[in-house]
Amino acid sequence: MKDVLTIGDAMITFDPTRNGPLRNVHSFERKAGGAEFNFAIGCARLGLNTGWISRLGNDEFGKYIRNFARGEGIDVSAVKLVDGYPTSLNFKEIREDGSGSTFYYRADSPTKTLTEQTLDVDAIRQTKILHITGVFAAIDPEKNLRLLKRAVTIAKDNGALVSFDPNIRLKLWDREKAQKSLSQLLPYVDIILTGVEEAELLFGVNQSDKIVAACERYGISTVAIKQGEKGAFGSMGGLSLMVPPRPPKKVVDTVGAGDGFNAGFIYGMLQGWSLERTLHFANTIGSMVVSVYGDNEGLPELGEVLVQLGEREYVER
């Protein structure tokens, strides 16, 4: 039985060796990333039994990503290498304040070969939480929406909770298509992990209490609203509260912070923690991620988070 399982694409990420517009960058460092991939790494580093369903190109990049995930302790038995589809790529542009932009090369993603017929049903039946995102849906909206509906139906039928991060990438699809497609998944969702702008796109409201009310109409019982430097708002079991952020030492790269928050929130739920403790824990991970360059390099192990929270002593030598 897995603690958590996710479905989605992974990419080779080319990180610039200097900040600024990519037209002025002449060299890059090869890394790996992707929303679901980062989430899986975050969960595994916290000690959760984590699985990942995906397809990668049968090329050197695909083998690198699969080996990377395996090395992190992620179950990759449902990750297949396929011929004829190159592993997806993206190039990152990082500005001086740590913010940035991403340029995708994933139109012919290997995950196009992941269908309802090839979906690993047994893996879904044997997980406590199935985590999905809007990124995977955006890659091939019609096919992947059908696949995700099948996956969440199987999960719910077998007693699993469904966690959902809208993670809307407007470079992959437009607002209208995203809203129409992702709204079809909401009736299956138990836990939503969203930003304010994504919630506004989905529900047409941007105030925390109204977002919670909109989620409740879909039967979503647990809501976490990520607000970056403002902290996070959560609602669960009739309790709603705002938790302040944990200021990072320095913001150098914001990519992956939301995925880290998600992993931390899911970890707290699986431990049966209070909403307040869960939000503090998730916020702390987000602040740790933005202090490190890379999509997932800053995702911490459990002991490192406990040190940051003051719950474990740090022994330097």
Which residues belong to the active site? 259
Q: How far, in Å, CA of 108 to CA of 86, rounded?
A: 7
Closest CA to 267 of 277, 258, 257: 277
Contact criterion met (CB below 8 Å) for 155 and 127: yes
- For every residue of 8-72, DSSP letters joined together read ---EEEEEESS-S-GGG---EEEEEE-HHHHHHHHHHHTT--EEEEEEEESSHHHHHHHHHHHHT
- DSSP 3-state of 153: helix
Distance spanning both ends of the chain, measured CA to CA: 38
- Residue 39, judged by CB atoms within 10 A of its CB (0-12, 13-18, 19+), counts as buried
3-class DSSP assignment, residue 93: strand
